[in-house]
Amino acid sequence: MIRQNIKVAVDAVVFGYKDKILNVLLIRRNIDPYKDSWALPGGLVLENENLEQAVERELKEETNVTVDYLEQLYSFGDLGRDPRNRVVSITYFALVKPEHHDIKADTDAKDVAWFDVQDLPELAFDHAKILKKAKKRLQNKLTYEPIGFDLLENKFLFSDLEKLYMTILEKEIDRRNFRKKILGFGILKELDEKVSEGRGRPANLFQFNKNQYFKSKEEGFFFDIK
């Protein structure tokens, strides 16, 4: 095989949805280059671990976070993205509830924190570009499959789901059209229970119909042409 000196790394974009805000998990670097800068958790792959094991290990080591499922996002390999060496980074992303995770910095991280994606510090390397790609992917996913099953409380108002969508899409949605589409999937159960929110009339609570949700997710929600 030809001589090749390229290193392989993994990086994780962990989004957290809380209090109607989309956050991202960042670490503060303890080592050069970009010492003291905020960055995505990640690091070099060990020779005896698979890529998924590497990203889970780095995330656990640097932030103490364990995520059930990290989806592969994209691989970044442009020349010069790391001043030390040519490094190709295979990136992963996940969407979680921050309150389910105790964060704690360790190894290459001197600090760890959730940041509102609308109010970020300057990021190390090309991590702003990676984060942008992850946001775009998350927004795209929303347009072809409903998400949020594990981000909302067990029982929620329809307006909570609307806010989740508007927060991630970063824009207003046509509420009438949205309600029609989402209810048309048959994945929500409208409960008899009502609660009041603000000054409005009491509104019904909803619950996800788990079985139908996972069945539809498996089959694909859109374009049912079969």
Which residues of this chain interact with its own copies, rule CB under 8 A?
1-2, 4-8, 44-51, 72, 74-75, 77-79, 84-86, 88, 90, 140, 142-144, 165, 169, 171-174, 177-178, 181, 220, 222-226
Minimum CB separation of residue 41 from its own copies in Å reads 17
Residue with smaller CB distance to its own copies, 169 or 191: 169
Least distance in Å: CB of 31 to its own copies?
10
| Distance in angstroms (rounded) separating the CA atoms of residues 113 and 104 | 9
Q: How far apart are CA 139 and CA 134, in angstroms?
A: 9
Residue 19 backbone dihedrals phi, psi, to 5 degrees: 50, 45
Q: Cβ of residue 99: shortest distance to its own copies, in angstroms?
A: 28
Quick one: tokens of 14? 């962990």
What is the DSSP annotation of 37-49? -EE-SEEEPPTTS
Compare residues 41 and 98 and give the one whose CB is closer to its own copies: 41
Least separation, in Å, of the C-beta of 5 and its own copies?
A: 6
201 vs 226, beta carbon nearer its own copies: 226
Helix 127-144 vs helix 158-169: crossing angle, to nearest 10: 140
Residue whose CB is less far from its own copies, 51 or 113: 51
Taking the least distance from each CB to its own copies, the nearer of 176 and 199 is 176
Q: Hey, what are 53's tokens? A: 């094991």
The helix/strand/coil state of 1 is coil
Min separation Cβ 88 and its own copies, Å: 5
Cα separation, 142 vs 97, whole angstroms: 17
> Do 65 and 103 touch, CB atoms closer than 8 A?
yes
